Amino acid sequence: MPDDLAHIQQLIRRMVDQDDPQASRDFFDLFYLPLTRFALVFVYRLEAAEDVVSTVFYQVFKQKKRLLAIQDIRYYLYRAVRNQAITYQKRNKLYTSDLYSSPDIPIQDVEHSTPESEYVFQELSEIVRNIIEKMPPQRRTVYQLVFHDRFKYREVAELLQISEKTVENHMRLAIRDVRQQVQSAYENQEKDSARLSC
């Protein structure tokens, strides 16, 4: 589903001006998975993360006219989820040592037109997924927010309450890990293919 600003603004207009239930569903579907993934950073259990995100959506839909005045809706939603997650932590006596306890972060699939490109994409996705899962939890979260959710370093630093320099370091190390291990996987694959063809 597209997530560009024009599409999001169109959904908000339909939600507010026309009270369109389909627009509300599309808006929910667009943000639910990435927001839940982000909430896991703070509450570390899927049911708790879903609870946090559901509460945020309830508040958003209850006061949806306010969405028209918000300039960056993505950042607004992520910040709302972070604040709600912190409230959840305090209410349930979760501590900061639990913050990065290995959340399960799914990668969204992308459609490709040919069977060959789909096979290559699935293979590459599996390699990258394995690399991401092995990253330290905070690095994995930073990588997801920057690479998949397209946040700026400054925004990630604010959302995670770490320095921008720490975000830069995590991204540098994450990109290095992905690049090296993807290259290594393909080199091994080429060696195996060469052995089999002999």
- Per residue in 93-135, pLDDT (tens digit) is 644 333 333 333 333 333 334 555 455 556 666 777 788 888 8
Q: What does the alpha-carbon distance between residue 163 and residue 169 come to, in Å, rounded to a whole number?
A: 10
Tell me the whole-structure pTM to 2 decimals: 0.60
Domains of the chain, start order: 5-98 (1.10.1740), 115-197 (1.10.10.10)
162 DSSP 8-state letter: S
Helix (H) / strand (E) element for 88: namely: helix 73-91
Q: What is the per-residue pLDDT across 3-49, written as a single tens digit (0 to 9) for each? A: 577 888 898 999 989 988 999 999 999 999 889 888 877 776 788 88
CA neighbor of 20 nearest in space, from 30, 33, 6, 10: 10
